[in-house]
Structure 1
Amino acid sequence: MKTLKFSFEHPVRGKLRFRPLSEQTNASICRRFDTGVSTDLTVALRGLEAGNWELTLEWEYEERNYHYQHTFEIGEVNNGLFGLTRYAKASLFHNRRPLHAINR
């Protein structure tokens, strides 16, 4: 599973928003986050389609508001047989001996 990881100086709680940059829509996905006692935040990218995205994090610490934006790209995932076949063919073409050769 693809993720984004952030490290803070203190535990944080807030909200995050994903906004697609490559689509013609402004539909954004909002989630809440809480690092608990940890200072690390791992954001799962499940449910997001391939393309360019903008992530906005907003949180409050010691009565101050914080805001962070990050843009990233999710590439196409090819789990189909075609991708494996293409890899297998490329491997065979780089082999110097036939597959049935015996090392002497």
Structure 2
Amino acid sequence: MKTLTFYFDHPVAVKIFLSCTSNKEHRYAIQFIRSDETGLLTIPVNDVPDGTWQLNMEWSFEDREYCIEKTIKMPEGTVL
């Protein structure tokens, strides 16, 4: 099982979008994945083809909105 893992200081529920940088037709939206109680967020990416991807995560915490943007390479799951 391929996954991406992120650690937060608090539990979160994030909205995740993936866009392939080499093929704009490959886009995935993963709706509202929740972290565990410690803030560990595991994102399943089994169906995401190999390549370089733009990852965007959106969430809110204590009435503030947040967004993270990362470039990742599949299959390694390396954050660039």
* TM-score (structure 1 length as normaliser): 0.65
d(CA) in 2 for partners of 1:66 and 1:55?
Answer: 14
1:8 aligns with 2:2: no
Gaps (5+ residues) in structure 1?
Answer: 76-104
Q: Distance in 2 between matches of 1:12 and 1:24?
A: 28
| Structure 1 residue 37: Cα displacement | 2.1
Distance in 1 of aligned mates of 2:47 and 2:34? 20
Structure 1: how far apart are the matches of 2:67 and 2:53? Answer: 17
More helix by share: 1
1:26-65 correspondence to structure 2 within 5 Å: 27-31=26-30, 32-65=32-65
Structure 2 vs 1, CA of residues 24 and 17 (structure 1 numbering), >3 Å: closer, same or farther?
Answer: closer
Runs of 4+ in 1 over 6 A off after TM superposition: none
CA contact (8 A) 2:51 2:74 kept: yes
Q: 2:23 corresponds to which letter in structure 1?
A: E
- Please state how far the C-alpha of 1:38 moved relative to its aligned partner: 2.9
Residues of 2 paired with 1:19 and 1:5: CA distance?
18
Residues in 1 aligned to 2:72 and 2:44: alpha-carbon distance in whole angstroms:
13
**Structure 2: any 5+ residue segments left out of the alignment?**
76-80
Give, in angstroms, the shift of residue 72 of structure 1: 1.0
Percent of residue pairs bearing the same amino acid type: 30
Q: How many residues align?
A: 74
Letter in 2 for 1:45: V
Q: Quote the offset at 1:35 in angstroms.
A: 1.4
